[in-house]
Chain A
Amino acid sequence: MREENELPETLQSGETDNLQSRRSLLRMSTLGVAAVMTIRPGMAQGAVSSALTCSIPVPLAADVNKWVKPSGSTSNSPPPPGSTWYKFPASPQALAGEHVKNAIKFGTVIPGMDAGKTTAYKAYINAKIVSGKLGFTCYASLQSPNRF
């Protein structure tokens, strides 16, 4: 980068020019203009990043007939009768990004599920939803610090 340095140049140049306007910086009249403007790319990025609307399939199509274990790994065999707590079937619908976000961020259960199933699905998402897989863009957007 051409002007790359560790000290902002505005500080250095500002010491000499415009002292008067700098003196007024801490007056209430300046508050109408934001001092911080955050770049928020639009277009598809914005639509994709909307944690409110995106969804994540659990499990992926390749694992659709398998059972999800609390570790996030999958199993080909159903749990033995009477012990459904440690393996969970595929979710019939893709999980809403908003619910997954709340589960990851705040430890809530995904609506319609208990804590065990939520934990297993979260672990599955963490392990299997990698770049290039369906749902990854949604998952990645949930991790973005600005979305929380």
Chain B
Amino acid sequence: MTARLYRADYPQHCRTHAIDGMTLVFHRPSGTTHFLSAPAPEMLILLSEAPMSAAVLCQRLCEQLDLPQDDEALYVVEARLDELIASGLVRVQGLDPH
């Protein structure tokens, strides 16, 4: 089965600042500014470590948050990925060869 891989260049190519429980981000490559609330920063950090599919990202995130991994979690991760892609903070890297 092939799945799309996602990657992020966060926080290496960003300026970040914690503010009111959110993360304020200046994304240097695009010159855009965003407010992020959880779990967006956590997702970006995982995606910057290595490109991964939504399923792997969901698994890693659930482990980190000590949360059972289920279809609902995957649905939420995919929805948040769509937001991050729309903002330009996450890019589609290619297809998973496995």
Contacts and interface: CB of A to CB of B under 8 A. Distances in A.
A30 interface: yes
Interface in A1-38: 1, 3-11, 13-14, 19, 22-23, 25-28, 30-31, 33-38
B45 interface: yes
Contact of B79 (A6, A31, A39, A145): A31
Contacts, number: 102
Contacts of B72: 26-28
* Interface residue tally on A, bucketed by range: 20 to 34
Q: Which of A3, A5, A8, A28 has the most CB of B within 10 A?
A: A8
A76 interface: no
A93 interface: no
A131 interface: no
A21 B40 CA distance: 15
7 pairs of A and B residues whose beta carbons are closest in the complex = A9-B18, A26-B73, A39-B33, A35-B40, A8-B23, A37-B35, A8-B41
Interface of A: 1, 3-11, 13-14, 19, 22-23, 25-28, 30-31, 33-39, 144-146
Interface of B: 11-12, 15-18, 21-23, 30-42, 45, 58, 61-62, 65-67, 72-73, 75-77, 79-80, 83-84, 86-89
